[in-house]
Structure 1
Amino acid sequence: MVKLEQRSVEVELKYQVCQDRSNTIEKLIRWLDTNATSGEEVELKNIYFDTPERLLNKHKMGLRIRRAGDWGEQTIKLAGKQQGAVSERPEYNVETKALRPDLHLFPTHIWPEHWRLKELNNALEPQFEVTFTRRTWLYHGEGYSAEIALDLGLIIAAGKQEAVQELELELKAGSAEPLLELGAELAALFQLEPGLKSKAQRGYELYAERFPSQGS
């Protein structure tokens, strides 16, 4: 039985930890250990898929298979809104043990009517890999709760790589306004920069540096 999880709108804040401030990560972890409830630490391997023409990327969609040990999940993120560090995107997740995504497992209404889904599914190819260690905390504020995740790893595309040093704050319950205040506080304390690009967008750009004409 396929288990489909829909998050109608994922509301989260994304920040970049500056590369030249290595002790910032240690200070940030100490703050989180003191002020939030520590959760799990897990290594996540993500393979992003698209057609050779990068059709999904052109429609601001991101498709990946995520694995952690024996667990696997395929995810599609749709076009959403981005304002500074705040990101809001519809997202659908399906548990899977397959190495390739199956687009037919997602709800049919998310696709443009003229798309031939079977042909699109057959044309999917791996584009790039994002592997990182994620450590999480649960933060309870007044009138809201949030999951805070620190991701440390690499984006690997076409023989090139970039570091991942990201802090994400995802609203779990309550109002988004105090979450914005928490994000602003952490950004000021640890000199974080707004994460204006998703891991997927950074992966596509890294891939395009090697193959600039492909899919254009």
Structure 2
Amino acid sequence: MAEELEIKLTVAEPDLNRVALWASARSDARYEAEQALFNRYYDTPDAVLNRQQAALRVRRLGTNYVQTLKTRGDFVAGAHRRQEWEWPLSSANLDVSLLAETPLASVINLERLSVVFETNFRRRTWRLNHWDAEVEMALDEGAVVSGSRRSPLCEVEFELKSGASGRLLELAMALAGQVPVFLNLVSKAEQGYFLAGMHRPVLAPSDASLSVTDFLHLLGLAWMLEVPVPIARLRLDTVADAAERVGQGAAFQWVVAELAAGRLVRSLARETALGQLQLSLAAV
């Protein structure tokens, strides 16, 4: 088992090459490779894995296959931190015997697992030696697929390989200053479950003041669902205070006003101000 720490940013398809140019222009970045990745995600018919906030996939990369189990983990300074298990496979078939020593074995019947959706994409990678940290940047372009349904997948991932975790946020903020990005707390797996009709979250208002993480996650859900944020029914005083502390008070008020006017998050994500606000809040 290993621990994974990464920041994931959604970008608009027309901006993918702008991200590539940004990386290629950096003196601390080295282009590595372009690869085609094909991923099948597994769950039970009643989505037990999804309810456990875990994701299980088999990835094909060229002639190689890898089986991976990830937990949802937590959100720290803009980055997802997860537990991760990986096993090389000799074929594209899921090997349930490898899961016997993981937390899955005690919560589900492994024999009930089957493919529920796929994520297939082209990945370009760069290695960034940013101060004391080594970071892999991946630029993904493809689709989430479930049956006849498809949804575009355009993401940037900064994954820490070694060094200080705060360097991930520095790189993400540097990119956000040049290209509109959206700090998306909704994973590829969540998008797949939604597309497959196995996951339909609700944007329910709360009487409690939302934390920064709650607010960022709510924006991600609204992005996925393509519905307005019920901003007038949310208590955002904690988020507003955090925005003021990081010098983003005006940007926060602008975002709230746009959401209150009914603007969708997907539209707002084309503005550099939203991504910069999100990443600044994540640093609190």
TM over 0.5: yes
Higher normalized contact order (CA 8 Å, seq sep 6+, divided by chain length): 1
**Structure 2 SS opposite 1:189:** coil
> What is the aligned partner in structure 2 of residue 125 from structure 1?
114
Is 1:47 aligned to residue 40 of structure 2?
yes
1:108 aligned partner, one-letter code = E
Structure 2 contact 22–175 (Cα < 8 Å) conserved: no
- Within the candidate set 25, 32, 40, 1:34 is matched to 25
**Structure 2 SS opposite 1:190:** coil
> What is the aligned partner in structure 2 of residue 172 from structure 1?
161
Deviation at 1:84, TM superposition (A): 7.4
Given the two structures, how large is their TM-score scaled by the length of structure 2?
0.66
Runs ≥4 residues deviating over 6 A: none
Deviation at 1:82, TM superposition (A): 2.7
> Residues 1-216 of structure 1 correspond to what in structure 2 (within 5 A)?
6-7=1-2, 9-19=3-13, 22=14, 24-35=15-26, 36-82=29-75, 85-106=78-99, 108-111=101-104, 113=106, 115=107, 120-208=109-197
Q: Which runs of 5+ in 1 are unaligned?
A: 1-5
Larger mean CA deviation between 77-86 and 45-54 belongs to 77-86
Deviation at 1:165, TM superposition (A): 0.5
Structure 2 contact 77–166 (Cα < 8 Å) conserved: no
State how far apart, in whole Å, the 2-side matches of 1:64 and 1:55 are.
Answer: 14
Structure 1 contact 72–97 (Cα < 8 Å) conserved: yes
Structure 2 contact 8–155 (Cα < 8 Å) conserved: yes
**Structure having the larger proportion of residues in helix:** 2
Residues 144/83 of structure 1: CA separation in 2 closer, same or farther (3 Å cut): closer
Q: Which runs of 5+ in 2 are unaligned?
A: 201-284
Aligned length: 198
Structure 1 contact 84–196 (Cα < 8 Å) conserved: no
2:144 aligned partner, one-letter code = I
State how far apart, in whole Å, the 2-side matches of 1:184 and 1:74 are.
Answer: 32
Deviation at 1:83, TM superposition (A): 5.2
String of CA shifts for 1:178-203, please: whole Å, max 9, x gaps: 22111111122101110221111100
State how far apart, in whole Å, the 1-side matches of 2:77 and 2:146 are.
Answer: 26
Residues 102/203 of structure 1: CA separation in 2 closer, same or farther (3 Å cut): same
Fraction of identical pairs, as percent: 30
Structure 1 contact 102–121 (Cα < 8 Å) conserved: no
Residues 185/69 of structure 1: CA separation in 2 closer, same or farther (3 Å cut): same
String of CA shifts for 1:90-128, please: whole Å, max 9, x gaps: 001000023332232146152364x46xxx222111100
Given the two structures, how large is their TM-score scaled by the length of structure 1?
0.85
Residues 171/69 of structure 1: CA separation in 2 closer, same or farther (3 Å cut): same
Structure 2 contact 41–117 (Cα < 8 Å) conserved: yes
